[in-house]
Structure 1
Amino acid sequence: MSADDTTMKTLDPDATPFARFDAMSEEERHQAAVSDPDARPLMPEDMSRMRRVPQVRTMRRALGLTQEEFAARFHVPIGTLRDWEQGRKEPDATAKAYLKVIAKNPDVVQEALKRTA
């Protein structure tokens, strides 16, 4: 296998068939999407089978923290955090409210927790 076979190639925007797509009506676009088995729109029954990515994981990653750092910084038991992230358990109403506050202003939460320690 040559290096040419493994090198990423960029698409030339002029070489893509956007003119054909632009000429399609909204109904034709929808029919084309539905008929494409590799890229058809998600249906409600598809959504019911899919697992949501736990939002606490997304929030923790956005803060640039490991599980251990997040747990220590915000006084959440590491096992609880892992259960939330792995979908074994859902945060209860109080924990959800706390997570919303952390997401909104993590520095203020961290400062408040330092003062009470």
Structure 2
Amino acid sequence: MPIDKHFRSDLDLAKIDWAKVDATSDAEIRAQVEADEDTAPIFSAHDLAALARPVEPPTAEDVRSLRLRLGLTQEAFAARYGFSVHAVRQYETARRVPSGPIRTLLRVIAHEPDAVTRALARRDETKITPSPHK
């Protein structure tokens, strides 16, 4: 089966034959992936586990020092990065430990605070529309 290359933004999801997509076998998908030199390699669970880099949760001192380094009050830090003031206070007093996406966000803020500020400022400009296909 020939590969028809598109960018996601080029696709009109209303015109896709979802029945044909759903009928595509795993073997056909594998053949398409192998035929496309631009496709990323498929990693096994073992390969992915070997590449994993656990992100240690920040300590209360880390959250407080990050906020102070940026010269922000708890209220300003919360408002700028989308936290509740209550959550910031809980993180800084170690009554709550940031987990998952919050750990990642705090790490990005620590390294690229201006990029996060710019990205969050655009949230009203970019509306995410749900896919019509489920």
Matched, 1:55 2:78: no
Compared with structure 1, are the counterparts of its residues 56 and 115 closer, same or farther at alpha carbon in structure 2 (3 Å cutoff)? same
> Per-residue displacement from partner, 1:45-79 (whole Å, max 9, x unpaired)?
xxxxxxx6521100000000000000000011111
* Residue number among 94, 97, 117 corresponding to 1:90 in the alignment: 97
Higher relative contact order (CA 8 A, sep 6+): 2
In 2, Cα distance between equivalents of 1:72 and 1:89: 19
Percent identical across equivalent pairs?
Answer: 41
- Give the TM-score, by structure 1 length: 0.54
TM-score (norm 2): 0.47
Q: State how far apart, in whole Å, the 2-side matches of 1:102 and 1:53 are.
A: 15
Structure 1 stretches lacking a partner, 5+ long: 1-51
Which ranges in structure 2 are unaligned for 5 or more consecutive residues?
1-58, 125-134
Aligned residues: 66
Does 2:87 correspond to 1:80?
A: yes
Greater C-alpha Rg: 1
